[in-house]
Structure 1
Amino acid sequence: MTNIAVFASGNGSNFQAIVDAVRNGMLEANICLLVCDRPGAFAVERARTSGVETFVYTPKEFSGKAEYEKLISEKLAEANIDWIVLAGYMRLLGPVLLTAYEGRIVNIHPSLLPAYPGKDAIGQALAAGATVTGVTVHFVDEGMDTGPAITQVEVPISSGETHESLQAKIQEVEHSLYPAVLQTLINTQGESKNGTKAGTNLRFR
C-alpha cells in the first residue's frame, strides 16, 4: 500500500476528501501524516478526528526553510512516505523536500494554470472578468504553481458569480478530482515498479 503525507495550512477540505476517498475504497493508500505550518488550522482537527498522525510546526521558530524542512523530511522518512500531497499548503517547498521527493510531490490549484497562480486564484479570476476558470493538478517544482500539469478541469463562471459560490463549485470538482488523480499516479507508479510501461499522459477531462 502506498503511504502518503498531506500538507495543509487551512481548513483542510481537500485533506478530508482524500480521507473519505480512502475510507470509501476509492483511493488505495495509507494517509500516514498531516503536515501543517499553522497550529490553529482546522485541518489539524480534521486529522485528529480521522486518526491521522500530525506534525504541526511554526516556521518562525526555525532559522529558515532548510531547518524545518529537514525536520519534516525526517518525519516523512520515519513514516515511509511515498508521495507528498499538497492540499492548501501555503508555502513554497525548498530543495530539501524537492530533492528527496523529486517527481513525487503533487499540488491542486483552483485555476487553469498558468492563469491565476498564487494566492486567491478565485478572486483573481473574478477580478479579471473571466467566464471560465478551473482546477489544475500538477507536479511541484521550486516555483509558485509552475510545475508540469497532470490534468485540468474547467469550471464555468456564471453571471453574478460570487467568491463564495465559485469557491463551492471549484471545491466540488477538487474533492472528486484529486483522489482520482492520486489513484492514477499510484497505479502508474506500481506499473513502473512491475516493469510495465506506464502511461505518462494522465487526463481526467
Structure 2
Amino acid sequence: MENSTPSFISPQINSEDMKLEKPLRLGILASGSGTNFEAIAKAIDQQQLNATIPLVIYNNPQAKVKEKAVAFNIESKLLNHREFKRRENLDQAIVDQFKSYQVNWVIMAGWMRIVTPVLLEAFPHHVINIHPSLLPSFKGIKAVEQALEAGVKITGCTVHLASLAVDSGPILLQAAVPILPNDTPETLHIRIQQQEHKIFPLAIALAAKLYP
C-alpha cells in the first residue's frame, strides 16, 4: 500500500550520505514479523547500503523473521529469552554470537526486549533501535495507541542509538506521519511501518558516519 499522505524525514539526507567506504557487518535482533529486517536486507541487495548481515537472532520461536532470513540466505539463530534466568544472561549470549560472526553494529529491528549494559558495553555507540513514535513522545509499548489516545495530529517513527533508558539515546532520523480522522491502531501502524522501512537503512548509514 502506498502512503498517500505527506510525510517528512529529518534531517534530510540523500544517496551521497549513504555511501560508506567499508562495508558494515550488521547483527539483527528481531522478535516478530521481520519487516524492518527485510527492508534493510533489500537496501543491501540493491546496493543502497554497503553492509552485510552475517546473523539474525530472534527470541520468539514463532517469529516470522526466521522465514525472511531464509529467503535472503542469511543465517538465523533462536535465543529464547524464556530459557535465560536474567536479561544479562540473554544479552551475553547475544554478544557471544555476534562477536563470533565479527558483527560491528547491532540493529534492533523490532526487538521486544529491554537491553542491559552487557550488550551496550560490548558494542558502545553501535546499537541501534527503531520506535514507532516521534521520540521523546510516546515511549514504551503501544506507542501507536498512545498517540491516538492523546489526540495528536502527527506521529511517526524514530531511529536512535540504544541506551539503558527505554526508547532514549541520541536520535539519528525521524519521519513524521499525519494521523487521519478515521485512523485505527492498525491503519496508523501500517503507515508508520512504511516510513520505518524508508528511514532505517538511511539511519544505519548515518550512524556509521557519526560513530565510526
Same fold (TM over 0.5): yes
Which amino acid counterpart does residue 158 of structure 2 have in structure 1? T
SS at match of 2:82: helix
- Superposition map of 1:92-107 within 5 A: 92-107=114-129
Which amino acid counterpart does residue 114 of structure 1 have in structure 2? P
Contact 2:134 2:155 in 1 (8 A): yes
Query: Does 2:157 align with 1:161?
Result: no
Task: Report the number of matched residues.
Answer: 190
Gapped regions of structure 1 (runs ≥ 5): 193-205
Deviation at 1:68, TM superposition (A): 2.1
Aligned to 2:56: 34
Deviation at 1:169, TM superposition (A): 1.1
Between 1:35-44 and 1:147-156, the stretch displaced more is 147-156
Query: Does 2:207 align with 1:170?
Result: no
Contact 2:174 2:199 in 1 (8 A): no
Structure 2 Cα separation of the partners of residues 59 and 86 of structure 1 = 15
Query: Does 2:145 align with 1:142?
Result: no
Structure 2 Cα separation of the partners of residues 53 and 22 of structure 1 = 16
CA RMSD of aligned residues (A): 1.2
Q: Which has the higher contact order (CA 8 A, sep 6+)?
A: 2
Deviation at 1:64, TM superposition (A): 1.3
Q: Deviations over 1:114-171 (max 9, x none)?
A: 1111111111111111111011111101111011212222111011112222112111
Contact 2:120 2:163 in 1 (8 A): yes
Structure 2 Cα separation of the partners of residues 171 and 59 of structure 1 = 25
- Superposition map of 1:77-88 within 5 A: 77-88=99-110
Aligned to 2:143: 121
Fraction of identical pairs, as percent: 35
Between 1:109-118 and 1:180-189, the stretch displaced more is 180-189
Moved over 6 A (4+): none
Contact 2:27 2:54 in 1 (8 A): yes
Query: Does 2:57 align with 1:58?
Result: no
SS at match of 2:133: coil
TM-score by length of 2: 0.86
Contact 2:173 2:199 in 1 (8 A): no
Residue of 7, 10, 27 corresponding to 2:32: 10
Which amino acid counterpart does residue 133 of structure 1 have in structure 2? T
Which amino acid counterpart does residue 180 of structure 1 have in structure 2? L
